[in-house]
Amino acid sequence: MMPESSLQTKEGERRATILDGAPVAEEIKRDTAHAVERLRTEHNIRPCLVVVRVGDDPASAIYVRNKVQTSLELGLISEHRELHAETTTEELLRLIAELNARDEVDGILVQLPLPSGVDETRVLEAIDPAKDVDGFHPVNVGRLAMGQPVIAPCTPAGIIELLVRNSVEISGASACVVGRSQIVGRPVAQLLLQRDATVTICHSRTHDLAAVTRRADILVAAIGRPAFIRAEHIKPGATVIDVGINKVTDEAQVRELFAEEAHKRLEIVRRRGYTIVGDVHPAEGKRVAGAISPVPGGVGLLTVAMLMQNTVTSARRRRGL
C-alpha cells in the first residue's frame, strides 16, 4: 500500500518502510493520559483497572507488571490481584462477581492463560460486558460483529491504530487476515470491514494460500507459526502487519531469517537462549512489502496502550459521558 515510501538498498532493491509501534503507542498513551486528567478535573473520576493473575507463569507476571505500571503512569487507579495456582473456577468467579459489583471498578482483566484446572470460558463470560476491557465477552464479540459501538480487543484495535496513524488507506483496500482466532484474526477482520476494506480470512485449510494472500493490499499475519509468510505470499508494495511472537533458538535458522541483521539476533540468542520472530519471514518480508511492522517493536507495543484507552472508554460509557 505504501511503495512510494519504501527505502532503497545499495543494490537498488526496495526495502519496506518499518511501521514502528513505539511512537504510535506513545501517542495513544499521551491521549489517554489527557483523557484521564479531563475526567478527574471535570467529573472527579479516576478510571480504575483491576488485573487478575492466577498462578506463577513468568511471562504472565511480566505482562501484568507492565500493565499495572502503565496504568499508574497514565493516572489510572490500578489494582493487581494475585491468586495461587490451585485457585478453583468457583473461587475466581466469586472474585469477578465482587469486582462486577464495585461501581468504582471500570475495567476487569483476567490474564490469560489460566491454569488447566480453571474453566476459561466460564470466567470470561462472568465479567460484566461493560467492564470487559479485553473485549472477549460474547456480548462484546456480538456487538463488534454487528458493527455496534463496542470496546474492541486490544491487539486488533492496536493494529487499526498502527495503520491509521501511518496513513495507510484502509477504505477500498483488499485486506487478508491469516488466522481466525477469537483474540486477533476474527476481530481484526471485523474492524477492517467496518473501515470499508474488502476482507478475506485465511486459515490452515485454505487452498493455495499464497494465491489468496498475494492479492492483498493489507496483509495481517496472525497464524502463530514462525516465519510462515514468505515472499511468495506478499504482494509487492503491500502493507504487512506481523502479529506473531515466536521463539527461535537455532543459530542457522537465525542466519537464514535475518540475513544482514543476523549478527544482532545471534548476540541475543547467545545471551538469552532465543530470539523473537514473527509469523512473517523478516528478511523476505522487508524485501517485498512496501511497509511492515517489526517483531519485536510493532503490534505488541500497542496492546497495553489500547488496554489503557479501553479502560478510559469504559469509565466514560458506564457513566453516560
Catalytic residue list: 67, 111, 134
In whole angstroms, give the CA distance from residue 108 to residue 53.
11
Structural contact between residues 36 and 72, judged by C-beta atoms closer than 8 angstroms: no
* Cell reading at 85: 495456582
Phi-psi region of 135 (alpha: psi -120 to 50; beta: other; left: phi over 0): left
Q: Cell 506463577 appears where?
A: 56
8 Å CB contact between 105 and 46? no
Please enumerate in sequence order all residues whose Cβ is within 8 A of that of 286, keeping only pairs 6 or more positions apart, or say none: 15, 16, 292
Beta bridge partners of 79: 50
Query: Which amino acid is present at 181?
Result: S
The cell 517493536 sits on which residue? 297
- The Cα 158–Cα 304 span in angstroms is 9
